[in-house]
Amino acid sequence: MSELIHTCYRVLDLERSITFYEELGMTELGRLHIREEAINAYMGFEGDGPRLELTFNIGRKEPYEIGTGYGHIAITVDDLDGVLGKLAAAGIEPEKPPYTVSIDGPRLCFVQDPDGYRVELLEAS
């Protein structure tokens, strides 16, 4: 049986990116040093395994192009306002205030991680 095991992002500042995803409730579950070329940090939620691979290419200084095909990843959070408060303390603001897409739907908003990748934060019900 096949399964989707993770998504990979290339990042310029590994520690800054790890801190961002920790604010969303993820934990660093492991690292893999690839010779003198790169470091992969594996992030995930408690009991779920590594779902996000952050790849830091040693020596790279210029930002990566995200491209027009990338949309976002979505993460559920128990307390959207609390998470947004933590992110605001780190200088990260939502693209627009939380909203719903349907009358009974959960609140959501979008933020960008330190490298500009969009992340949808969806309040768990």
To the query of whether residue 120 is one of the catalytic residues in this protein, the response is yes
pLDDT digits (tens, 9 = 90+) for 55-91: 999 999 999 998 888 899 999 999 999 999 999 999 9
For residue 85, what is the DSSP state?
H
Show the domains of the chain with their CATH numbers: 7-60+71-123 (3.10.180.10)
25: left (phi over 0), alpha (psi -120 to 50) or beta: left
Q: Which two tokens stand for residue 11?
A: 């990042």
Catalytic entry in 22, 37, 65, 120: 120
Q: What pLDDT score does 59 carry?
A: 94
For residues 41, 73, 113 and 102, what is the CA-based torsion angle, rounded to 10 degrees? -150
For residue 22, what is the DSSP state?
H
Residue 42 scores a pLDDT above 70: yes
Residue 125 scores a pLDDT above 80: no
Q: What pLDDT score does 5 carry?
A: 81
pLDDT digits (tens, 9 = 90+) for 75-85: 999 999 999 99
Q: What pLDDT score does 6 carry?
A: 87
